């Protein structure tokens, strides 16, 4: 008997190219889209190593843990890096970027994370893109946590390197990822003697041996199962409609925020302003005297399938993450998460209003 995962026909170059085209359509881009055979960290690192070198001056915007990592890679490439860090409870503004570019006119590379699932904020990329384009710098964007949850429009926003992964709002696999690459970005790579070549990190290998060859011969055996899962996930988004997938995420974020406020017990949105809060996931601040990691563990005891997590690293003390993305961008997941958090707070002697929270979620969803 043939096994559904194991006995597959090889994935053809045509099929691979058609999956790339479908991802390009999802991003509304006419740029080249390369599907990389690894988790999103592969194109995130590959794109920096391909474009940055000792001659690069970068503005690295830090609104969460990923921005920190990008700065480390840029420095490792020999780039001069100006970090622009904003507190995790807020977002960066286009004005702050304009100011930083005016202070250091030699900046020729800007790295930014669109939305951060780890901190729950989202940055105004359309406005920032205008400022970066005006300045002429290459614009690198991590859209892993935003794609599927809110608009991601590399062409309209002037993004030169836009990295996405399917494992968050797209509800897809984590083992392959994609990057759209502008002509300017390809030229920067071609001119960079340190850009990886004949390497798993290399974007230029894909350009020269896959794209320029008319996408007829793959560089190596593709991650076949993950490619099929990516195709299925894009198909499912197309069937539901991207607009309605994004609307589900926006509703989940608004409902979680409203529900948490109505619940009481000292629980508060971690991101102060609703406009800075990411549709992909909502972060909450635990009441003083309550450890977020303990509260989450207690809440998960009632239902381990709920999309709840404590913040990473030092944030585990104070931050609760409601990961209402992909299949969890539903009223049920949000209601269940707040009810479980409410019960856990009540067990610790805090006063909560479960019924108000339930009604607030219901009201905000519409």
Q: Which residues are annotated as a binding site for substrate?
A: 321
Q: Does residue 311 bind ligand PLP (CB under 6 A)?
A: no
Q: Does 338 bind ligand PLP (CB under 6 A)?
A: no
Measured CA to CA, the distance from residue 220 to residue 85 in angstroms comes to 39
Q: Which residues pair with 218 in a beta bridge?
A: none
Name residues whose C-beta falls within 8 Å of residue 52's C-beta, 6 or more positions apart in sequence: 58, 73, 74, 77, 78, 79, 109, 192
CB of 236 closer than 8 Å to CB of 26: no
Contact 182, 204 (CB under 8 A): no
DSSP-assigned states of every residue in 62-79:
ESSHHHHHHHHHHHHTT-
Residue 258 binds to ligand PLP (criterion: CB under 6 A): no
| Residue 116 makes contact with ligand PLP by CB under 6 A | yes
113 binding ligand PLP? (CB under 6 A): yes
152 binding ligand PLP? (CB under 6 A): no
- With respect to ligand PLP, which residue has the nearer C-beta, 101 or 113? 113
Closest to 104 measured CA to CA, from 122, 86, 80: 80
Query: What is the closest distance, in whole angstroms, from the C-beta atom of residue 280 to ligand PLP in the complex?
Result: 7
- Residues 324 and 260: their CA atoms lie apart, in Å, by 14
- Choices 141-149, 204-212, 243-251, 299-307; region in contact with ligand PLP by CB under 6 A: 141-149
CA dihedral (210, 216, 219, 225) positive or negative: positive
Q: Is 167 in the site for ligand PLP (CB under 6 A)?
A: yes
Q: Does the protein bind ligand PLP through residue 168 (CB under 6 A)?
A: yes
Mark the segment that binds ligand PLP (CB under 6 A) among 23-31, 94-102, 163-171, 329-337: 163-171
Q: Is 120 left (phi over 0), alpha (psi -120 to 50) or beta?
A: left
Asked if 145 is part of the footprint of ligand PLP (rule: CB under 6 A), the reply reads yes
77 near ligand PLP, rule: CB under 6 A: no
Per CB under 6 A, 142 contacts ligand PLP? yes
Q: Output the CA–CA distances (angstroms, integers) from residue 77 to 53, 276, 321, in the order listed.
A: 5, 31, 33
170 binds ligand PLP, rule: CB under 6 A: no
45 binds ligand PLP (CB under 6 A): no
Query: Which position among 16, 66, 186, 325 is part of the footprint of ligand PLP (CB under 6 A)?
Result: 66
Closest CA to 352 of 295, 311, 271, 283: 295
Q: By CB under 6 A, is residue 67 in contact with ligand PLP? A: no
Is residue 89 involved in binding ligand PLP (CB under 6 A)?
no
> Which one of 74, 79, 92, 144 is in contact with ligand PLP (CB under 6 A)?
144
Angstrom CA distances, 306 to 259, 267, 297, 323, 341, stand at 16, 18, 11, 9, 10
Task: Please report the sign of the dihedral spanned by the C-alpha atoms of residue 8, residue 11, residue 16, residue 17.
Answer: negative
x-marked contacts with ligand PLP along 233-252 as a string, rule CB under 6 A: --------------------
Residue number with CB closer to ligand PLP (175 or 265): 175
Q: Is 6 exposed, middle or buried (0-12, 13-18, 19+ CB in 10 A)?
A: exposed
Q: Indicate the residue among 246 and 354 with the shorter CB distance to ligand PLP.
A: 246
CB of 140 to ligand PLP, least distance (A): 12
- Any idea what DSSP says for residue 312? S
Q: Which is nearer to ligand PLP, 39 or 130 (CB)?
A: 39
CB 181 within 8 A of CB 275: no
Residue with nearest beta carbon to ligand PLP: 145
Task: By CB under 6 A, tell whether 165 contacts ligand PLP.
Answer: yes
Neighbours of 104 (CB within 10 A): 12
28: closest CA among 189, 135, 155?
155
- Tell me the closest approach of the beta carbon of residue 44 to ligand PLP, in angstroms: 7
Q: How far is the CB of 284 from ligand PLP (least distance, A)?
A: 17
Q: Which stretch binds ligand PLP (CB under 6 A): 7-15, 140-148, 286-294, 351-359?
A: 140-148
Site residues, ligand PLP (CB under 6 A)? 39-40, 66, 113, 116-118, 142, 144-145, 165, 167-168
């Amino acid at each position: 008997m043939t096994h559904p995962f194991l006995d597959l026909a090889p994935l053809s170059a045509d099929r691979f190219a058609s999956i790339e085209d479908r991802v390009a359509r999802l991003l509304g881009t006419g740029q080249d889209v390369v599907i990389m055979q690894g988790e999103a960290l592969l194109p995130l690192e590959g794109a920096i190593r391909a474009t940055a070198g000792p001659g690069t001056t970068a503005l690295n915007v830090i609104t969460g843990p990923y921005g920190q990592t990008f700065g480390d890679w840029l420095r490792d490439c020999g780039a001069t890096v100006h970090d622009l860090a904003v507190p995790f409870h807020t977002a960066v503004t286009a004005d702050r970027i304009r100011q930083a570019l005016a202070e250091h006119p030699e900046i020729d590379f800007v790295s930014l994370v669109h939305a951060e699932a780890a901190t729950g904020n989202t940055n105004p990329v359309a406005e920032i893109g205008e400022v970066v384009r005006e300045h002429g710098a290459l614009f690198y964007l991590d859209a892993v946590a935003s794609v599927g949850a809110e608009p991601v429009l590399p062409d309209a926003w002037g993004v030169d390197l836009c990295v996405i992964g399917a494992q968050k709002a797209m509800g897809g696999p984590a083992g392959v990822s994609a990057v759209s690459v502008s002509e300017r970005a390809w030229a920067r790579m071609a001119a960079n003697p340190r850009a990886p070549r004949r390497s798993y990190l290399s974007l230029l290998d894909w350009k020269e041996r896959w794209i320029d060859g008319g996408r007829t011969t793959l560089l190596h055996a593709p991650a076949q199962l993950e490619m099929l899962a990516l195709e299925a996930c894009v198909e499912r988004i197309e069937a539901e409609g991207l607009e309605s997938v994004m609307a589900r995420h926006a509703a989940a974020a608004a409902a979680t925020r409203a529900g948490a406020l109505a619940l009481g017990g000292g629980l508060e949105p971690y991101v102060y302003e609703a406009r800075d809060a990411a549709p992909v996931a909502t972060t909450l601040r635990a009441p003083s005297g309550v450890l977020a990691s303990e509260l989450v563990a207690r809440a998960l005891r009632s239902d381990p399938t709920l999309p709840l997590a404590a913040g990473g690293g030092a944030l585990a003390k104070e931050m609760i993450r409601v990961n209402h993305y992909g299949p969890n961008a539903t009223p049920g997941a949000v209601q269940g998460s707040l009810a479980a958090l409410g019960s856990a707070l009540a067990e610790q002697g805090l006063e909560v209003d479960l019924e108000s929270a339930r009604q607030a979620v219901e009201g905000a969803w519409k």
